[in-house]
Structure 1
Amino acid sequence: MKNYKYAIVYLDLKPEYAKLYNLPVKLPVLVEDMKKVANKNKLPLDVILRGLEAQYEISKDEYYKSYLVYFYYEAFKEALNKDDFEQANYYLNAAKKLGGEDYRFNFYRALLLKKSEQEELAELELKEALVKNPNFHLGHFELGNLMFERKLYDEALEAYKNALELNPEFLLPKLKIADVYIENGLFSEAIQELNELLEKDPGFVAAYVRLGILFNQLQRYEDAALIQEKGLKIDSENVELLYNLGFTYARLGKHLKAVEVLKKAAEISETDYILHELAIAYRNIGEYIKSYDTAKKAYNVAKKENKNLIALFLIKILSIIGNYEDIEKYYNELKDTEFMVSAKTFLMFAYISEGEIEKAKQLANELNNYGLYGNMVSILDKVEKYVDYLESIADEKYTIPLINSFDEEGFIDKLGLYENLKKNNIEIESLLNDEINEEISGLELITNALLLSGIDYGLGERVATLLARYLWKDGKGLFITRFLLRIYQDKVFGNFSTLDVFISDIIEEMKDLHFGLSRLLADYELNLIDFDGLIEYNLSEFEDIIKVIISYMHIKPLKSEIENEEFEDSKVQSLLLWLANLDELIKI
């Protein structure tokens, strides 16, 4: 009786299916593997290999041999993608043993060497593959990738162009050519390359991603928004587009939209950097609890290199919310790190908010060793007198309605605030609607609310941002409120910075809130107004507020000068007096 080594059955495949997956029309499959192919749309690779190996062993048929070599290379690629180098090498040698050292062997061996960080040997193998098959466009493409990673950009560019010339329908080289141009600062050439790519294939989402990043780098935020929005119409769940668009929206002052796209990105991929950006976006619109919860998620999933940065952000948020016990936990994790001084600052602010004055003074003394908050100990020694003065310069037409508008849970009742202000003949219509508003009415409400916050860092942050949401909802109003807040804090915490130092300290934060307005600060010397000009100046838009404040900080007029002049716009005089009164703190 004859013994059979293998029990093989032959699957009859539809020609179109066989062609699609490069399979023989009659596919040999071991009987023992038949249960693995039942009700499967795609045959498992291991099943295909075992069937072809068995068939070739018993028949030595050249027809099946060519398929077996092909699938050895497919198994090699699968193992390489899993970083299983040992298995990848096994299949590579199996293909070599059966099919010889043709150009495919050199090509795939190059990929293995490259991933094993043996780049020079990988280059030799790729070039050998191209000697054997000069028209192999993938070989040129991978040679380009290798040269690009080695920063040999001329060689990379030549290889990509060769790949594209050999196969104009293979568009990945155009994407990589754009990358070469970007790396060498040739941004116009990169944009042209990417636009040509999209003309050939409007659905090539990676090109939208590249253009969005490039426009962001060039500070062309409107263009970045348009191209990324277009890309999202093709792939609405592309995480890179959503994440980068969140950055773009923030720079355009569209913080509500930034939250929206970053939230969607985080739902798709809860990575530390996406969650961190979402936490920042929540913070920008005053959603502090959501910001804290999101930052905690980011911290819990963070890579080691990102953990400290997120811990510092958690300290900032907790100092605003008012929870110094949790701050101490994160602070202890940041001791002896590059973030220690910043962490110490926010812990000091939290202690002040909690009335832990002695603890705050101890930290202030430590910060003074770094040249920071040199006046804070003195301020804390006379804190009651300090706060009394701030309350005394506040306008009761605004402060009393504000105080009377807090509900039992400590939140401001927006409608109640409107009615309470109206009793004092102050009507701020924007409190009644939810549309984004770019009228500056309500400025005095912000400045007086800050005075009520005293030297409570967290309270100042919460009240200012909440009122900005009520008054302006989004956009330039959030920028202006943060700008006013930073000026207020600079003075009440005893820094009294010069104009250039102050702008240097806040400019990066301001860029993140509204890049357009931040340029007024960056180019502050071009936007200064002399005192006579201020007397005749009118506040009509947010930009005017910035110009008046930086001009005050530049010329430092006396309080008596401001009081004794007749200003064309009383709002300009009111803003200047607010600043001058804050500068009087230095005398207390």
Structure 2
Amino acid sequence: MGLKYAIVYLDLKPEYAKLYNLPVKMPILVDDMKNITDKNKLPLNVILRGLEAQYEISKDEYYKSYLVYFYYEAFKDALNKNDFENANLYLNKAKKIGGEDYRFNFYRSLLLKKSGQDELAELELKESIVKNPNFYLGHFELGNLMFERKIYEEALEAYKNALELNPEFIIPRLKIADIYIENGLFSEAIEELNTILKKDPEFPAAYVRLGILFNQLQRFEDAIKIQEKGLAKDPENYELLYNIAYTYAKLGRHIEATKKLEKAADIYEEDFILHELSISYRNIGEYIKAYETAKKALEIAKEENKNLILLLLVKLSAIIGDIESTKKYYEMLKNTEFEISAKTFYMFSLLSNDEIDIAKKISIELNNYGMYGNMPLIIDNIDSYLDYLENIADKNYVESLINSFDEYGEIDKLGLYRNLKKNNIEIMNLIKEEPSEDIDGIELLLNAYLLSGIDYGLSERVSTLLTKYIWKDGKGILISRFLLRFYQDRVFGNLSSLDVFVNDIIEEMKDLHFELARFISDYELNLIDFDTLLEYSIDSFENIIIVLLSYMHIQPTLEEIQNSKFEDLKVEKLILWASELDNLIKTLK
């Protein structure tokens, strides 16, 4: 030994040796003893040098088997780091002393697959299986390779072979479920995933898959149940938290969605989670939190996500009235797919900050893209335009709102309730603590929009704040956004037709409350004629949607509305509000 190597032998406890697949008498180079800082964890390079020295000296079959095993471990370590050169080096070292057994073919296939040589990888995997038909990992990796190449029948067969050889190996079942999902066999996928959970109720990936699957199938209540069950087993699973937040949002439970996203972001701070959290904050009126969260998302954003986050920052900057930030983020989006959208919000921000001349210049540029064709005319007549909006507003509501702003520019909820009551308007929802689906408060929103004029940021802030006061959460968030989008469409001069309007807003609506969004999407099934509107009454959020969309379909004149008798004053006021907005542009021509 002294001629070439100085080796010492560590006596390992049998249970430790078995756990780490080490010889009980572990050869270590004397020179490496100083590198062993943790006696419970031997470094891989130290193990390899010791075994190499021992095998070179003795050619002992006992130590040879360990050396081949650790060459493959070193191969896996290098492959995981994408160090193909060293991976290949260790692979060939294993081959040199261990021969081309099934393991060599298996590991070589992994190297070939990772370096993009799928067909050669397939040959090596099949050779590995021929040499050892009972090697379940070989069948599993063959399944993975075929799955990635979308050769689903062979993938399915390989996964089933792996399962047959090792029924306790659950992951092939997960992959079989993925194949079923890819091919639209959702019932089969659900059955497979439930089988996994029967065998192992702690298996988090099955809960994640089921949650995603139920979300895709729009079975949101089922998605909630299975994801909550998964979170009870694994409360720190950020994927479950992120996905259940999506489910809650679709059900209109935005406060719960926000809490789940906050927890997910604490556990795993990634750009896509922070982006969704920012949107969630926006939905519940927490605009400063939304803005700061989006900025944080931008700091850590992957290149492919940056522009989407920048666009959100442009919107949020415009909403909170920070024109410098709006301009900065707009400039960053020039020459991207989001430039026109960003320019639109920059124009809104300019208008909100009385930068009229620059806003007009931007509006003319947008005209070249067929957008906001009436904005130059609106800007040229802005004073008379705002006067019109002020004159059609109900003075009792406007006065109550104006008198309810506190010193910080926020609306005092209790003060608003009292000021409205002085004007014989009682909105009980303002003093209730629990979420409500009582439509009481719609007129307050309609008049608050008129009060905001053409200030985009103010209309967004007031809308969300009043929604939070009146309904707290749920369907009210969608309804307020639905009415706001109609108001903005009209006040910024778009005057979209019914089908264009629905098409423009429907994706946003789906994120706020899926069932109500579907109701909007199926608007043709729910339209009513003018005579029916005269006898119609509003007592639900769905009724509000029906009335406004039916108005857009019928397009009655303002005179026709004013000269008709409506049985429900709420219907009359909503249609009158919409018609007066439709007449805005006419007052300028």
For Structure 1 versus Structure 2, the TM-score category normalised by the shorter chain is over 0.9
1:276-298 per-residue CA deviation (whole Å, 9 max, x = no partner) reads: 11111111111111111111111
1:263-308 per-residue CA deviation (whole Å, 9 max, x = no partner) reads: 1121222221111111111111111111111111111211222211
Number of corresponding residues: 587
**Structure 2 Cα separation of the partners of residues 38 and 379 of structure 1:** 75
**Structure 2 Cα separation of the partners of residues 434 and 56 of structure 1:** 76
**Structure 1 Cα separation of the partners of residues 316 and 425 of structure 2:** 33
Q: What is residue 216 of structure 2 aligned with on the other side?
A: 217
Counterparts of 1:260-279 in structure 2, within 5 Å, are: 260-279=259-278
Q: What is residue 365 of structure 2 aligned with on the other side?
A: 366
SS of residue in 1 equivalent to 2:583: helix
Q: What is residue 259 of structure 1 aligned with on the other side?
A: 258
SS of residue in 1 equivalent to 2:28: strand
The one-letter amino acid of 1:33's match is D
SS of residue in 2 equivalent to 1:169: coil
**Structure 2 Cα separation of the partners of residues 578 and 28 of structure 1:** 87
**Structure 1 Cα separation of the partners of residues 555 and 39 of structure 2:** 79
The one-letter amino acid of 2:311's match is L
SS of residue in 1 equivalent to 2:129: helix
SS of residue in 1 equivalent to 2:494: coil
1:155-192 per-residue CA deviation (whole Å, 9 max, x = no partner) reads: 11111111111111111111111111111122222111
Tell me by how many angstroms 1:434 deviates. 3.1
**Structure 2 Cα separation of the partners of residues 80 and 28 of structure 1:** 26
The one-letter amino acid of 2:456's match is Y
1:86-107 per-residue CA deviation (whole Å, 9 max, x = no partner) reads: 1111111111111111000000
- Is 1:58 the equivalent of 2:60? no
Tell me by how many angstroms 1:534 deviates. 1.9
1:211-247 per-residue CA deviation (whole Å, 9 max, x = no partner) reads: 1112222222222222222212222222222222222
SS of residue in 2 equivalent to 1:576: helix
Gaps of 5+ in 1: none
Point out the more displaced range, 295-304 or 383-392. 295-304
- Is 1:496 the equivalent of 2:495? yes
SS of residue in 1 equivalent to 2:291: helix
Q: What is residue 389 of structure 2 aligned with on the other side?
A: 390
- Is 1:80 the equivalent of 2:79? yes
**Structure 2 Cα separation of the partners of residues 229 and 80 of structure 1:** 37
- Is 1:466 the equivalent of 2:479? no
RMSD of Structure 2 on Structure 1 (CA): 1.5
- The 1:40/1:418 distance shift into structure 2, 3 A limit, reads farther
Tell me by how many angstroms 1:12 deviates. 2.5
Q: What is residue 375 of structure 1 aligned with on the other side?
A: 374
Tell me by how many angstroms 1:491 deviates. 0.8
Gaps of 5+ in 2: none
**Structure 1 Cα separation of the partners of residues 49 and 334 of structure 2:** 58
Q: What is residue 508 of structure 2 aligned with on the other side?
A: 509
**Structure 2 Cα separation of the partners of residues 329 and 403 of structure 1:** 32
- The 1:538/1:40 distance shift into structure 2, 3 A limit, reads farther
**Structure 1 Cα separation of the partners of residues 124 and 172 of structure 2:** 20
**Structure 1 Cα separation of the partners of residues 435 and 2 of structure 2:** 84
**Structure 2 Cα separation of the partners of residues 493 and 44 of structure 1:** 67
Tell me by how many angstroms 1:36 deviates. 4.0
Counterparts of 1:324-363 in structure 2, within 5 Å, are: 324-363=323-362
Counterparts of 1:396-475 in structure 2, within 5 Å, are: 396-475=395-474
**Structure 2 Cα separation of the partners of residues 221 and 41 of structure 1:** 48
Tell me by how many angstroms 1:47 deviates. 2.1
The one-letter amino acid of 1:518's match is A
SS of residue in 1 equivalent to 2:218: coil
- TM-score scaled by length of structure 1: 0.97
Counterparts of 1:2-401 in structure 2, within 5 Å, are: 3-401=2-400
Tell me by how many angstroms 1:42 deviates. 2.8
SS of residue in 1 equivalent to 2:290: helix
Tell me by how many angstroms 1:325 deviates. 1.8
**Structure 1 Cα separation of the partners of residues 560 and 41 of structure 2:** 84
Q: What is residue 571 of structure 1 aligned with on the other side?
A: 570
SS of residue in 2 equivalent to 1:151: coil
1:121-143 per-residue CA deviation (whole Å, 9 max, x = no partner) reads: 11111011011001111000001
Tell me by how many angstroms 1:585 deviates. 0.9
**Structure 2 Cα separation of the partners of residues 544 and 32 of structure 1:** 83
**Structure 2 Cα separation of the partners of residues 127 and 386 of structure 1:** 76
SS of residue in 1 equivalent to 2:4: coil
Point out the more displaced range, 565-574 or 388-397. 565-574
Point out the more displaced range, 286-295 or 37-46. 37-46
SS of residue in 2 equivalent to 1:10: strand
- TM-score scaled by length of structure 2: 0.97
1:404-426 per-residue CA deviation (whole Å, 9 max, x = no partner) reads: 01011111111111111111222
- Is 1:538 the equivalent of 2:537? yes
Q: What is residue 551 of structure 2 aligned with on the other side?
A: 552
Tell me by how many angstroms 1:35 deviates. 4.1
**Structure 2 Cα separation of the partners of residues 47 and 336 of structure 1:** 54
The one-letter amino acid of 1:253's match is G
